[in-house]
Structure formats: structure tokens, C-alpha cells
Amino acid sequence: MESNLLRGVCEKGSVTEVFGTNLRTIIGGVLNLILLTGALLYAGLVAINFNALNSRVRPQVNLRDPAQSAQKLAVWLGVMTLATGIRVATPVLAMLSEASADVGDWFLSHRRRQTR
């Protein structure tokens, strides 16, 4: 006795469509995993180089080895982007912290007035 799902698939003659869909799902998942792994490796390279180089060293381009030069340039651009982001985020976070403290002070003073 077959299940209703399998019977419906076999009646339509689309068993290959079901397996094709599953194969597409598996390949898509593997490609997503590869992309995620590459992104994590790149982020790790950027973090390591940011700590080691502190964004002061410029990448050296070697025309005899363009792949390694492209990798070094990509990592250097990531380091520069991270350094710029940190430089921009520091005053913004300081301003938000100050504003939060002001709101807290206002709330406490307003609450004290109401309890009196």
C-alpha cells in the first residue's frame, strides 16, 4: 500500500520533478554553506590583519601573482572599512550614551517630583 503523496506523484508522472526539486534544494544549501564559510574566512582575515597591521600598511601589488594581490587588496579594503566604521561609530555611540544618561536623569527627577 503506497502513501497518498507517493501515489499522487506517480499518477502525475512527476517523480523526477520531486527528485529534481530536492536536488536543487541540496545544491542551494551547499552553495549557501560555501558562501557563508567564505564570508567567515574573509571576516577572520580582516580581523586578524586589523589587529596586526592597524590599517597603516598599504597592500603591495605583484603583477606576477594577481590572485594573491587581489586577496591582499580585498583584505586591506576590509581593514580600512572596519577602521573607518570604528572611527565613525565611537563618537556616535558616545553621543547616544550621553543622551541616554540625560533621559535617565530626567526620568528620575520627574519620578521624584511625582512621589512627593
The model carries a pTM of 0.56
What secondary structure does DSSP assign to 57-102, as a single string? SPPPP-TT-HHHHHHHHHHHHHHHHHHHHHHHHHHHHHHHHHHHHH
Contact 88, 96 (CB under 8 A): no
Q: What is the pLDDT of residue 19?
A: 64
pLDDT per residue over 26-75, tens digit each?
A: 888 999 999 999 999 998 888 888 877 665 667 778 888 888 888 888 88
